[in-house]
Amino acid sequence: MKVVRVGLIGLGTVGAGVFSVLRRNQEEIKRRTGCRIEITTVSRRDLDKARSMVDGAVRVVANPHELIDSPDVDVVVELIGGCDAAREFVLRAIAAGKHVVTANKALLATHGTEIFAAAEARGVMVAFEAAVAGGIPIVKALREGLTANRIQWIAGIINGTTNYILSEMRNRGVSFDAALRQAQALGYAETDPTFDVNGTDAAHKATLMSAIAFGIPVQFDRAYVEGISGLANLDLRYAEQLGYRIKLLGIVRRREGEGVELRVHPTLLPARQLIANVEGAMNAIVVNGDAVGNTLYYGKGAGSEATASAVIADLVDVARLSTSNPEHRVPYLAFQPGAVRDVQVLPIAEAITSYYLRLRVADETGVLARVTAILAQSGIGVGALLQLEAKDVGGDESAQTDLVILTHQARERAMNVALTQLQALPVVLAPIVRIRKEELD
């Protein structure tokens, strides 16, 4: 029986999951694949901890170079996270002619072009299913299952930590900080959770999906990124009253003749939609292809064994494909390297979407007319409106109220002009809250 010998760098949340799932399901995997996947070597800096996690048959080394250069390692699995050391280890593995499996979206979204070119030149594979949406096989779906389609757009909840925080805040009234601490304890958050909260992690994943979906280079530096820390409970509640939920979405959209949108931000979604009801650390991704229409992928987007499921699926792919003619392998980013197009990622000012606006206004006659007149001048239509009675807003009961507006679609540039004018009105008493809104139909 063919044996695939694996070197595992990183034995934290995901590394430990890979180890235990492989051990538990080895027989089932062998029945499926006809090969045995064997971890021969592991590496982490804390050697004592590493030794306590593996059995005596597995070699433990502190220096990943030793693992990479070892003749009994055919595939290097990088599970340390971060960019600097990970980049060095991955490039060294590629140079040594080893296939690579990684869960590291930060690495591939920022250094993917260099890494895939090096792998192409050396004829080895770089597999990264676990880098996007944890255990959901979305990379395989986009790269293989949907090959027949021209992908039009993808929108997804692709960060488990932030979805967990929003769900805990909404369903259980847990504070932002407490919910984040819970997400960290459950192993969902990045080593630096700022990347989760400020949208960077979701933007890494959206960047990878845009490349696979549209055949464009990875361009994380062009992504628009906005996280959830500015969200107020009040807006979550108003959105509910209007029949919407707020989720942190990664959105990539093809705009014929113009470029592509690549953006991550809190987004209002109609509460009736399946994706709006995805709770906790679960992820869900809607993909729209011209032939298939909308398809939805749902599952655990983070966590030890769910992510290990994707890492091991990549190991099986490597085992299967390493014996095939490299010309027949599925390209790393779905499109043949020579067919990648340098389509521009549009600046956020060119995005087209609809909006939720909340204006804290003086409770005076004529305010509504002035606000809607400014929107109309910018060509922005109003879809729905909610104005609370002043007494329900708190503070000085008679003085102020909230005006919540849902707009029709508009170009963000036009919305920016309108917002500047609205903010300048003396009756607008606080910074206007603007949250983007999508229907996903």
Residue 17 interacting with ligand HSE (CB under 6 A): no
Annotated catalytic residue: which of 205, 247, 300, 437?
205
Q: How far apart are the first and last CA of the chain?
A: 49
Query: Per CB under 6 A, does 304 bind ligand HSE?
Result: no
Burial class (CB in 10 A: 0-12, 13-18, 19+), 363: buried
The span from the CA of 393 to the CA of 209, in Å, is: 41
Determine, following the binding rule CB under 6 A, whether residue 129 of this chain makes contact with ligand HSE: no
CB of 301 to ligand HSE, least distance (A): 5
Does 214 participate in binding ligand HSE (rule CB under 6 A)? no
283 binds ligand NAP (CB under 6 A): no
Angle CA 376–379–383, to nearest 5: 70
Q: Is 391 a catalytic residue?
A: no
- 176-185 vs 160-172: helix crossing angle, rounded to 10: 130
The correct pick among 101, 213, 302, 371 for binding ligand HSE (CB under 6 A) is 302
15 binds, among ligand NAP, ligand HSE, none (CB under 5 to 8 A by kind): ligand NAP
- The yes or no reply on residue 78 touching ligand HSE (CB under 6 A) is no
Which one of residues 201, 235, 314, 317 is an interface residue with ligand HSE (CB under 6 A)? 201
Q: Work out the burial of residue 55: count CB atoms within 10 Å of its CB; fewer than 13 is exposed, 13-18 middle, 19 or more buried.
A: exposed
The whole-angstrom separation of Cα 80 and Cα 380 is 47
Least distance (Å) from ligand NAP to the CB of residue 409?
33
Among 89, 116, 188, 224, binds ligand HSE (CB under 6 A): 188
Which residue in the set 7, 15, 134, 135 belongs to the binding site for ligand HSE (CB under 6 A)? Answer: 134
- Asked if 171 interacts with ligand NAP (CB under 6 A), we say no
190 is a contact residue toward ligand HSE (CB under 6 A): yes
Cβ distance to ligand NAP smaller for residue 12 or 383: 12
Interface of this chain with ligand NAP, residues 120 to 159, rule: CB under 6 A: 130, 134
Smallest gap, in angstroms, from Cβ of residue 85 to ligand NAP?
A: 4
- Provide the residue type at 211 as one letter: A
Write out the binding residues for ligand NAP, residues 62-101 only, by CB under 6 A. 64, 79-81, 85
Q: Using CB under 6 A, which of the segments 158-166, 362-370, 404-412, 416-424 binds ligand HSE?
A: 158-166
Residue nearest to ligand HSE (CB): 161
* Cβ within 8 Å of residue 93, ≥6 positions away: 68, 76, 78, 100
Stretch that binds ligand NAP, among 9-17, 114-122, 241-249, 261-269 (CB under 6 A): 9-17
Selected binder of ligand NAP within 307, 309, 378, 400 (CB under 6 A): 307
* Minimum separation from the CB atom of position 105 to ligand NAP (A): 6
Count of residues touching ligand NAP (by CB under 6 A): 28
**CB under 8 Å to 68, separation ≥6 — which residues?**
7, 9, 76, 89, 92, 93, 96, 98
- Paired with 270 in beta bridges are 244
Shortest separation between residue 176's beta carbon and ligand HSE, angstroms? 15
Give me the half-sphere count of Cα atoms (radius 13 Å) on the Cβ side of residue 246. 30
* 12 interacts with ligand NAP by CB under 6 A: yes
Per rule CB under 6 A, is residue 301 in the interface with ligand HSE?
yes
Closest residue to ligand NAP using C-beta atoms:
12
One residue of 159, 198, 210, 304 binding ligand HSE per CB under 6 A: 159
- CA 225 – CA 351 distance, rounded (Å): 13
- Which of 355, 335, 68, 160 lies closest to 239, judged by CA? 355
By CB under 6 A, which span of 11-19, 334-342, 349-357, 400-408 interacts with ligand NAP?
11-19
Among 196, 235, 261, 314, binds ligand HSE (CB under 6 A): 196
Q: What does 79 bind: ligand HSE, ligand NAP, none (CB cut-off 5 to 8 Å by kind)?
A: ligand NAP
Catalytic residue numbers, as ranges: 205
Q: Which residues bind ligand NAP (CB under 6 A)?
A: 9-15, 43-46, 49, 64, 79-81, 85, 103-104, 130, 134, 187-188, 190-191, 302-303, 307
Residues in contact with ligand HSE by CB under 6 A are 134, 159-161, 188-190, 196, 201, 301-302
